[in-house]
Chain A
Amino acid sequence: MKIALFATCIVDAMYPEVAIATTRILERLGHTVSFPERQACCGQMHINSGKFHDAYPVVRNHVLAFENAAWDYAVAPSGSCVASLGHQHPMIARYNDDESLAGRAADIADRTYELCHFLTDICGISDAAEALGSYFPHTVAYHPSCHGMRILRLGDRQRDLLASVEGLELAEIQNESECCGFGGTFAVKNPAISGAMLGDKTEAIVSTNAEVCSGGDVSCLMHIGGGLSRTRRLIPAESNAPATVHLARILASTKEEPLMVPAEGATVTGGALR
């Protein structure tokens, strides 16, 4: 199939390895991957901040970028951005009196899938080790992100795929379905409450003794990773607080080209495994 990769702005600029891993996974399955270069961002940051007028050109750009390319499905390594496409783009188009854009946006949203959703429901994969050769012999604490859980209704798709990676052991995070406190600009508009939510989340993650913390949204992982990095730096007893890594990189990891977890105490750059 022809797959258009929707890399998302934060992956493009801050976590290119995640989009590279996504590309490799899709190509390993025999799909042709394209990258519509006009794409930039889903606009969620503006929409969730109430900037409905400013979001309009961003939404419009996404629609133009994707409708001018030929593809069967679009795939993004981010539940949150995919949720925004279906949940918010038509609303923004209508708010700006553009009914035509609303329909076109809905059409693109209907064919755009979160990575694991695509792998399970469209490709029919239930065993990552078998279908992708995924290999990652480490303990992984899995964080299900809010928009994947509650808007896309991903259920256990991400968790089950991770669990099927050869050598991987899943660790349960206490109150795992509770928000990490990122919420886009919420983190800077309400830093005290966001920080309190993050504190509870990082404490729960550290107590799993997992080697890495993984999930399907780099924005949540950047937030959690930033908190874990702070913990590691300031609290010597918790110097083994895990780094965060997007699940696409774990699924892409194989025996031949394994994703390496640094030894305890080694510097982990950027709060995320690079």
Chain B
Amino acid sequence: MTTRDIDVTLPRETHNDRTMLGMPTVPGRGNLREVAPFQEASAHESQNVQLRTNLRNATHSIQDKRDQRVAEMPDWEQLRDAGEAIKSDVIARLPELLEQFEAAFTARGGHVHWARDADEANDIIAGLVEDNARVNEQGRRDVIKVKSMATQETGLNEALADRGIDALETDLAELIVQLGNDLPSHILVPAIHRNREEIRRIFLRGMDDVDPDLDSQPAHLAEASRKHLRRRFLSADVAVSGANFGIADTGTLSVVESEGNGRMCVTLPKTLITLMGIEKLLPSFGDLEVFMQLLPRSSTGERMNPYSSFWTGVADSDGPENVHVVLLDNGRTRALADEHGREALHCIRCSACMNVCPVYQRSGGHAYGSVYPGPIGAILTPLLTGVDEAENGTLPYASSLCGACFDACPVKIDIPTMLTRLRAQDDEVNHGEKIPRTQLDAALKGAKWMMSDGRRMNLIGKALPIAHITTPSEGMTDLPGIGGKWTGTRDIPQPPKSSFRSWWKDNRDE
């Protein structure tokens, strides 16, 4: 694919917000789809007391740190505004900036590849690894990896394994997830759902070179992973990374991280391959000033993350000799075509929204199906893959619309409004107009008739005296049907003897 295939002529506003004029509609593939409706998956996950305790402790401690670090910034709101403005500009000028990035990256000795979807990206990367990594004694090839959501999204590790390539995750939490044959549950803290004892058992089972007497002290666990990884850093021919930012005018790529393992990967091997979503660009190096303040504070609650790596092309006798970037669409132009949804592409993957989300805190990341969990996942996943994919239809409802995510978002993505709009898309696509599909649809139809005319509200007033008498004083406690979803955990109060409307007529109307 070339940049010419990404035609981002903005569509005119259309009635249902779904018509995309002149836009390619390549839906995202890979680890993006729900396998079970959120409602069922989350109900199951929320029964896991250990999970909920782990999640609660971890999200609250990150949240507290984040709040402290944000509170010391007098210009936090202006920084958010700046972040939002820069990202809006990037999204509006994406084709131009991508071409600029391609030219600058190539001019400095790098190679640029374009991937329409996950399968294309995985193929490109596998081919590059086959060309650049030696075959080991087991007849397989090795690559080391920097933590990357993009490669999680495309399912790169599984695709590489199918082609005889073993990808080793070097981020501690990703390593825990990989060794446990698990999926990430959080985009910053992929193993947030695991406690120390679980991690000890995963290491004992999954590391061939681990001390069998390993205990669950954090320092000992970290040391075990350090030893395990060190040998591989020094022997690998190829590393694969994601990118936090790509700078259009200089052709620079960057990764920010906490452990330094990413820096080992991007400096030691001869070949470095980066998979970057096309929305990750910033126009110029100066824009980093804003994002290097917003990102660490929002994600880890740090003033600055410990390791920030930047690389621009290749240099003689310094770092990788062979640098590639794969620019990934995988549904991003699809999201871009959605006039209201494109704002989701501003996301810098900080995870602040999931840490403050009361729904995420109780369901965990796996319930969302996609590699992108929490509030941002509930909008990003349907936008990338299509809400008309029935299994994604429940994600926009995975929120009480409390708005905590919007307040926490460093680039001001209005997640609650987007959730509501995606619900409208789901309603049009999957619920139709004429025949209500569910009891709730039917109830809302009835309510519409009642609530679109005040005179009809009198009917409620007329029904109240009977409802008051027939309902026990402790309220309704065990309703059938959809009402039972309410009375499963809470009572409905006894209705009053008469409505306010009636009181007004009797007491105030002339």
Contact = CB atoms under 8 A, between A and B. Distances in A.
Interface in A219-237: 222-223, 225-227, 229-230, 233
Contact of B501 (A37, A183, A186, A274): A37
Contact of B403 (A15, A150, A187): A150
B362 A197 contact: yes
A233 B474 contact: yes
B426 A50 contact: yes
A51 B444 contact: yes
Most buried by A among B397, B454, B508: B454
A12 B485 contact: no
B427 A50 contact: yes
Q: Is chain B's interface secondary structure helix, strand, loop, or mixed overall? A: helix
Given A11-B500, A40-B454, A53-B433, A48 B493 contact: no
Contact of B495 (A14, A55, A193): A14
B201 to A, nearest CB: 27
Contacts of B499: 12-13, 16
Contacts of B492: 222, 226, 271
Interface of B: 15, 17, 38-39, 42-43, 46-47, 52, 358-359, 362-363, 396-404, 406-407, 417, 420, 422-427, 433, 440, 444-445, 447-448, 450-457, 460-461, 464, 473-475, 477, 482, 485-486, 488-496, 498-504, 508
Given A65-B454, A230-B489, 16 more contacts: A16-B499, A20-B503, A36-B454, A46-B448, A47-B420, A51-B444, A52-B424, A183-B401, A188-B482, A193-B359, A196-B362, A233-B474, A267-B474, A269-B494, A270-B473, A271-B491
Interface stretch (A159-167, A174-182, A205-213): A174-182
24 contacts: A7-B500, A12-B500, A16-B498, A35-B508, A40-B456, A45-B444, A45-B447, A48-B420, A50-B423, A57-B452, A60-B452, A61-B452, A150-B402, A179-B404, A183-B401, A188-B440, A189-B397, A190-B398, A191-B486, A193-B363, A196-B46, A197-B358, A270-B494, A271-B491
A23 interface: yes
A109 interface: no
A64 to B, nearest CB: 10
A232 B440 CA distance: 29
Contacts, number: 234
A199 interface: yes
A121 interface: no
Nearest to A199: B489
A193 B362 contact: yes
Interface of A: 7, 9, 11-17, 19-20, 23, 33, 35-41, 43, 45-55, 57-58, 60-61, 65, 87-88, 91, 95, 97, 146-147, 149-151, 177-179, 181-199, 222-223, 225-227, 229-230, 233, 267, 269-272, 274
A187 B15 CA distance: 30
Given A9-B457, A19-B500, A187-B485, A41 B490 contact: no
Given A13-B460, A150-B403, A49 B452 contact: no
A270 B473 CA distance: 6
